[in-house]
Structure 1
Amino acid sequence: MNVQSCFQSLKRANRCQKTLISTIDPSSGVSLLGNVPETPLRFFSSLDSSHTSFISDGYHISRVSELVSKQHWSELKTIVRETNPNRFLQLLFESEVDAEIVLRYGEIRAQLHALVKSERHSNSSIFHTISVWSDRFCSNSIIVDMLILAYVKNSKTDSAFEAFERAGDYRFKLSVLSCNPMLNALVKEGKIGIAETAYKEMIRRRIAPNLITFNTVINGLCKAGKLQKAGDLVEDMKAWGCSPSVITYNTLIDGHCKMGRVGKMYKADVLLKEMVSKNIFPNEITFNILIDGYCKDENVSAAMKLFEEMQRQDLKPNVVTYNSLINGLCNQGRLDEALSLQDGMLGSNVKPNVVTYNALVNGFSKKGMLKEARVLLDDIAKQNMAPNVITFNTLIDAYCKVGKMGEAIALRGLMFDREVCPDISTYNCLIAGFCREGNMEGASNLLNEMGDKGVRADLVTYNILVGALCRDGESRKAVRLLNEMFEMGLSPSHVTYNTLVDGFCREGNLKAALNMRMRMEKEGRRANVVTYNVLIRGLCLKGKLEEANGLLNEMLEKGLIPNRITYEIVREEMMEKGFVPDIDGHLCSKKPHQRVPLQALEF
């Protein structure tokens, strides 16, 4: 836009200087500028009167306008050296150039960056000074735009949002030049709620959003799992005259693939068809998102069809495409197909990376082919790549699960040799391996090592230890670990509580098991099907079949759906012992398509 009227704001220089020197920060009662050395806030003040003739010279004003319009910044530096920088700012604001171009000029940005970095002035004091400095609404709005941008570029996102809010209080008209970077920073920092608030406020203030605005907010909503809201934003785009792009649809499809629930891939496919119907053609990223989504949804066949379609559309699969497919095939135990795909990858001149090798190491490990997996680990180095912590953890976990703790510990040593730091997953794999062998001393030594290296135990660590103690008949000791978890700021999961309930039941201590169930619910974890299965089996083993039947009815009343284990318990522990459960007319499920009476099932 042409902002000729907006750049007439830096007059009354001497009067402005006197006003600013006596300015008081309204929030602190402390003088901002009086009797202090030159600070970045001087950007808003002290226009040296010795250069008045220079500024009033129409030739120089027109020359600056011309150079700014053409963005000849190097020539502008010559003028800056000849005069006070603050004088030059006045010259800029009196010239007839577009605000967006002015915002690019480094001298103005440098002044504001210095102000922000100094951290000597609050937003309230800055806004107060701006309002005193000039009553020209438009030029002040441009300065605030630049201020917000300076906060964002200095990673002060909270201050940027505070300035955004204060701009609304002062009725300054901001633009997407500052709002879009602020929204992007908020989304990157995971502050999705604040980003959503900022977007709504932009709309309320009639700050016209553009495609980047919408794509940024949609990305944030998708990351937060707010897929319905993200979809609704596409309708908002139309109201503002924006058309969704391939990035818009890629973001929505990715959101459904990663954050969606049941039927997520169906919704992703609907979005794909919708974008094609609007003549927005999918690109490599679109296909990669869908292929990865289908692989993680354990539908590798659908992913392979997309892989073929991608090539029919003359789109070249890249390393991300191949990695998703190879990982999907390996997870399903289809190692031969994964190796064949790797050959095709090499034939297409796509170089495998460490992620490719990690997927194949996992594939060999799942097949129990640990020698081959170990050879692959060595091959990574031969390809001038470095195995990462995931490579080592995958192989260590495989050795631990087959009881080869010596090899697992040797690999942990190799990690140190290769300068790969073990993480909590490394230690959890090794601790679980020692616990399976009943080697609690080995597990304890690893816990001590974790403490020495500053690796903090997590929920998985505690669940492993709780499980090991309960299997050894030490459920009361395991309860101490439960208490320790709260002290460490960890929230026990259903697995933690159900393991303890099962431990007490195995020890025949039904009172303690039922008390643990009560504690579980008191601490915010509702009993689930696993909890009821464990308690029902425990009561049956004690011959308390009527009480077990009562718990079965309670489970059904709460709308919990019996699983295969429930049916096995009823058959083996009740019906085969001559006890026919009375389920009071309850059904296995309250869902219409699942109404099957428990007694009608054949055991």
Structure 2
Amino acid sequence: MVHDAVFVIAKMKELDLKVSIQTYNSLLYNLRHTDIMWDLYDDIKVSETPRNVYTNSIVIDGLCQQSRLQDAILFLQETAGKEFGPSVVSLNAIMSRYCKLGFAEVAKGLFCLMLKYGLHPDAFSYNILIHGLCIAGSMEEALEFTNDMGRHGVEPDAITYSILAKGFHLLSQISGAWKVIQKLLIKGSDPDIVTYTVLICGYCRIGNVEEGLKLREVMLSQGFKLNVIAYSVLLSSMCKSGRIDEALGLLYEMEAVGLKPDLVTYSILIRGLCKQD
């Protein structure tokens, strides 16, 4: 269908019919995973069709998805100072890609570039960078950027706190993760199921199944339902500590709330029962 659209545009040009930038943008978006995207962009320039901010953002997103990050930055620099120059969306795309590749320091530089261009980072910008720093183990910097959000008129959201909680969990710093949750509660926001699950996994990981079970009670009291991951982690910790009967009780609870134990869950219980015998 995309090739059909390219054919139609070619026919329109033969008939001297003007192709709108909206049509070009739609096609660019669908071709952004391919090299044809760049040819189409050149075609837009030759036709002197007025571009808009979405045009450039799509091109940068496409270059990022093709892992052509240097080309994306060069394109960004070329458009700087022009009518539709770098945008928060386009810089977010490049930052996200660098963070996924483990280059949080480069993402920090792009964040500073965003401010240099007079752009205002949004919550997504901060969350991308905070996530990259957490994955890199730079929790102190991640917290600094979280505090920086308020100074720039951006409020940390549940996603921000969930990212931080996961970061502390990866470093086995469960007390840090719990402090993040407490901040979220003080602000009047409720942690989501992902954040609670991260904490339960963290407590069980360091052998503190009791705290994990307490969190389970908190979740249930707030109307949350544990997922299979949380139940499996709790089951594993209880089996390791020889509390097989309680583990079986959790299995029955899972089934009662409509969750189907998976292969991992049953494997955990089988190992626990075998060790007991």
Superposition TM-score tier, normalisation by shorter sequence: 0.7 to 0.9
Q: Alpha-carbon deviation of 1:355?
A: 1.5
Q: Distance in 2 between matches of 1:364 and 1:380?
A: 15
SS in 2 for 1:335: coil
Deviations 1:489-526 (A, max 9, x none): 22211111111111112112111112111101211222
1:386 aligns with 2:89: no
SS in 2 for 1:368: coil
In structure 2, which of residues 15, 22, 28 is the aligned counterpart of residue 326 of structure 1? 28
1:49 is matched with none
In structure 2, which of residues 255, 263, 274 is the aligned counterpart of residue 567 of structure 1? 263
Q: Alpha-carbon deviation of 1:462?
A: 0.9
Q: Distance in 2 between matches of 1:550 and 1:403?
A: 42
Aligned partner letter, 2:91: F
Q: Distance in 2 between matches of 1:541 and 1:360?
A: 52
Q: Percent identity?
A: 32
The 3 A distance-change label for structure 1 pair 324 and 512 is: farther
The 3 A distance-change label for structure 1 pair 310 and 435 is: same
1:436 is matched with 135
**What pairs with 1:274-285 in structure 2 (closer than 5 Å)?**
none
2:173 is matched with 474
Is the Cα–Cα contact under 8 Å of residues 500 and 513 in structure 1 kept in the other structure? Answer: yes
1:520 aligns with 2:219: yes
Is the Cα–Cα contact under 8 Å of residues 463 and 496 in structure 1 kept in the other structure? Answer: yes
The 3 A distance-change label for structure 1 pair 308 and 508 is: same
Q: Alpha-carbon deviation of 1:320?
A: 3.2
Q: Alpha-carbon deviation of 1:328?
A: 4.6
Is the Cα–Cα contact under 8 Å of residues 240 and 272 in structure 2 kept in the other structure? Answer: no
Deviations 1:183-209 (A, max 9, x none): xxxxxxxxxxxxxxxxxxxxxxxxxxx
The 3 A distance-change label for structure 1 pair 535 and 360 is: farther
SS in 2 for 1:473: coil
Q: Alpha-carbon deviation of 1:415?
A: 1.7
1:375 is matched with 74
1:419 aligns with 2:118: yes
SS in 2 for 1:387: coil
SS in 1 for 2:160: helix
SS in 2 for 1:360: helix
**What pairs with 1:183-332 in structure 2 (closer than 5 Å)?**
304=2, 307=5, 318-330=20-32
Aligned partner letter, 2:54: V
Aligned residues: 268
The 3 A distance-change label for structure 1 pair 541 and 396 is: farther
1:462 aligns with 2:184: no
Q: Distance in 2 between matches of 1:367 and 1:538?
A: 42
Deviations 1:338-374 (A, max 9, x none): 4455456567764443223222322322343211221
Aligned partner letter, 1:365: C
Q: Distance in 1 between matches of 2:101 and 2:110?
A: 15
Q: Alpha-carbon deviation of 1:376?
A: 2.0
Q: Alpha-carbon deviation of 1:538?
A: 3.8
1:492 is matched with 191
Q: Which has the higher contact order (CA 8 A, sep 6+)?
A: 2
TM-score, length-scaled by structure 2: 0.79
Aligned partner letter, 1:454: G
**What pairs with 1:48-63 in structure 2 (closer than 5 Å)?**
none
Is the Cα–Cα contact under 8 Å of residues 354 and 380 in structure 1 kept in the other structure? Answer: no
- Over aligned residue pairs, what C-alpha RMSD do you find? 3.3
Q: Alpha-carbon deviation of 1:420?
A: 0.8
1:532 aligns with 2:228: no
In structure 1, which of residues 446, 462, 473 is the aligned counterpart of residue 145 of structure 2? 446
The 3 A distance-change label for structure 1 pair 521 and 381 is: same
The 3 A distance-change label for structure 1 pair 452 and 306 is: same
SS in 1 for 2:80: helix
Q: Alpha-carbon deviation of 1:558?
A: 2.3
**What pairs with 1:114-193 in structure 2 (closer than 5 Å)?**
none
Q: Distance in 2 between matches of 1:515 and 1:446?
A: 31
Deviations 1:89-108 (A, max 9, x none): xxxxxxxxxxxxxxxxxxxx
Q: Alpha-carbon deviation of 1:408?
A: 1.8
Give structure 2 stretches of 5+ with no counterpart.
none
Q: Distance in 1 between matches of 2:195 and 2:272?
A: 34
1:551 aligns with 2:253: no
Q: Alpha-carbon deviation of 1:419?
A: 0.8
